[in-house]
Amino acid sequence: MGEKLREWRETASVFGRAARLAERGGAAAVATVVRIEGSAYRRPGAKLLVEGSGQTTGGVSGGCLETDVRQVARSVLAGAPPRLLRYETASADENPFGLGLGCGGSVEVFVQSASSPPGLHAVRRSLELLASEVPFAVSTVLEGERAGRSVVWLRGAPSGSLGDADLDRAVAGPAEEVLARGRSTRHEAAGLSLFTDVLRPPPHLAVFGAGDDAIPLVALSSEAGFRVTVVDHRPALLTEERFPGARLVERRPEEGAASLPLGAGAFAIVKTHGLAHDREWVRLLARSRVRYLGVLGPRERVERVLREAGAPKDGRVHGPVGLDIGADGPEQVAVSIVAELLAVHAGRVPLSLRDRTGPIHAP
């Protein structure tokens, strides 16, 4: 699949902070990764918010670029025009930015104000769409006198302008093509250098079973970017304190799956620790359109549950759930499971990075 799982949540955090600062009369700049070549820690669309105080939210690298980007962002906040930065990380020698990284690639980062027009319009419109379930894109001019101008695209309906109606119409087609392909891209259109940032809602993960071992699983999968729903028939276990930020649904399998997020792109994990409940949830989920169905437990038990539930033996079913990493205890089991979720989402066959050829962070 290759979508950036965390970008929806990270963009909401970065833009939400920028909007709140603007409401209070504060200022912030946003740095966005717009292109990578070779190895890079973050992919196009990753964002770093820099406030006037120097406080930051998000990130554009593993920490190696942030100091320099922060300095440029503060100059933009002081009145400098937007900047397109290019960091060469292939050499361990010092480069013009004073960075000797030796990471084997290059990264382009665009820095612009997020507190004044037109950046603030794009921030506010994006926040409205980030509260929805629909993909959208933001096209931003990177160079020239129109640098920093943006248009937000939603199914052919633009919001904002590049400052010229003819340019808006000329850019619409290429931007819609990028949105349809689903990958954030730096490209040229109508004589302009653009970055079209594609934002897609992250997949839902439904966890059936709210026992204590679900706590690290829900926390880690939420942090990874999944939108998590926890389903259980025991109200005492379904609390905000145990599962902060997750949607909580009190439900027994015989009550059905109405309102549960079990569409074609969804993930589900069954781990109620009750044989009958596991079986009936698996029976119901096997008839759904979920992309991934994981079942926790020893192999013999899992095979019994799948057999009694009449679950098909297809690629959607992962039982026992998780990767073989020698996990011991709820926290490590959660790592094993979330690692498998990420691999399936990315369309990757899990393997050690030492055995991967090419850049390790390449799509």
When pLDDT is averaged across residues 184-199 and rounded to a whole number, the result is 95
> What is the per-residue pLDDT across 192-209, written as a single tens digit (0 to 9) for each?
999 999 999 999 999 999
Reported as a single tens digit per residue, the pLDDT across 140-162 is 999 999 999 999 998 767 899 99
- pTM score: 0.85
Q: Name 292's bridge partners.
A: 267
Q: What is the pLDDT of residue 4?
A: 72
How does residue 90 score in pLDDT terms, banded at 50, 70 and 90? low
The per-residue pLDDT for 363 is: 56
The domain limits of the chain are 7-199, 204-346
Residue 27 CB contacts under 8 Å (≥ 6 apart), including other chains: 21, 51, 52, 77, 113, 115, 116
Comparison of pLDDT for 105 and 11, the residue scoring more: 11
What pLDDT sits at residue 104?
Answer: 61
Q: Which of 37-41, 44-48, 284-288, 301-305 has the lowest mean pLDDT?
A: 37-41
Could you give the CA distance from residue 231 to residue 116 in angstroms, rounded to a whole number?
43
Q: Is 343 exposed, middle or buried (0-12, 13-18, 19+ CB in 10 A)?
A: middle
Cα separation of 109 and 114, whole Å?
15
The predicted model gives 130-149 an average pLDDT of: 94
At a CB cut-off of 8 Å and minimum separation 6, what does 292 contact? 266, 267, 268, 316, 318, 341, 344
Residue-wise burial string across 141-178, b where 16 or more C-beta atoms lie within 10 A, e elsewhere = bbeeebbbbbbbbbeeebbbebeeeebbebbbebbbeb
CA atoms within 13 A of residue 4's CA, in its CB half-sphere: 23
pLDDT in tens, 162-182: 999 999 999 999 999 999 998
- The amino acid present at 265, given as its one-letter code, is G
- Interval 302-306 mean pLDDT: 96
204-346: CATH number: 3.40.50.720
Position 361 scores a pLDDT of 59
Distance CA(172)–CA(167), nearest Å, equals 8
Q: Is the pLDDT confidence value at 55 over 80?
A: yes
- Tell me the sheet residues that pair with 37: 106
d(CA 267, CA 264): 9
- What integer is the mean pLDDT of 308-314? 91
Cα 296–Cα 302–Cα 305 angle in degrees, nearest 5 = 115
Supply the pLDDT for residue 359. Answer: 62
- pLDDT digit string, tens, across residues 221-242: 999 999 999 999 999 999 999 9
* Residue whose structure tokens are 């979720």: 341
Radius of gyration of the chain (CA): 23
Query: Which residue has 């990764």 as its token pair?
Result: 33
Do 218 and 228 contact (CB within 8 A), yes or no?
yes
What rounded mean pLDDT belongs to the chain? 91
pLDDT category of residue 97 using cuts at 50, 70 and 90 = very low
